[in-house]
């Protein structure tokens, strides 16, 4: 399960960000990550990894929110651009399979919801 490696990277990144905040009594509520549909990451496995890896840290008890943006593409035949129905390119306008994917490989920390006194 590579979700544990990704989970560890998320936990390490969030802890690093929290160190830069100079507010006393911080409480992390939510960690939001954006993960493209082509990353082959199972959100439930990542959630499990996050919960286990965040134990005994400032992240313990916080929620991991995974956002998966729609997969988009551009047709090289007719120029159509838009959201794809599956992970393989098929133009919604002309039916061509000649296209390029616009995204789908995203993997980044989008934001942190933090509460403090």
* Token output for 14: 């969030």
Give the C-alpha separation, 31 to 21, whole Å.
Answer: 15
Which band of pLDDT confidence, cut at 50, 70 and 90, is reported for residue 35? Answer: very high
Mean pLDDT computed over 99-116: 94
Q: What are the structural domains, with CATH classification, of the chain?
A: 3-70+103-115 (3.30.2320.50)
For 54-77, letters b (16+ CB in 10 Å) and e give beeebbeebebebeeeebebebee
pLDDT of the residue at 1? 64
In the predicted model, what is the mean pLDDT of residues 3-20?
96
Q: Compute the average pLDDT of residues 70-98.
A: 93
| 112 DSSP β-pair partners | 31
pLDDT confidence tier of residue 87, bands split at 50, 70 and 90: confident
Whole-model pTM? 0.86
């Amino acid at each position: 399960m590579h979700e544990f490696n990704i989970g560890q990277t998320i936990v390490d990144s969030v802890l690093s960000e929290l160190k830069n905040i100079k507010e006393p009594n911080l409480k992390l509520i939510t960690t939001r990550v954006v993960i493209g549909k082509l990353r082959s990451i199972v959100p439930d496995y990542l959630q499990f990894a996050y919960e286990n890896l965040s134990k005994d840290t400032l992240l313990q008890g916080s929620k991991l929110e995974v956002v998966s943006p729609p997969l988009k593409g551009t047709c090289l035949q007719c120029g159509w651009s838009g959201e794809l129905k599956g992970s393989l390119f098929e133009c919604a306008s002309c039916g061509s399979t000649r296209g390029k994917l616009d995204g789908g490989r995203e993997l980044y920390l989008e934001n942190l919801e933090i509460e403090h006194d």
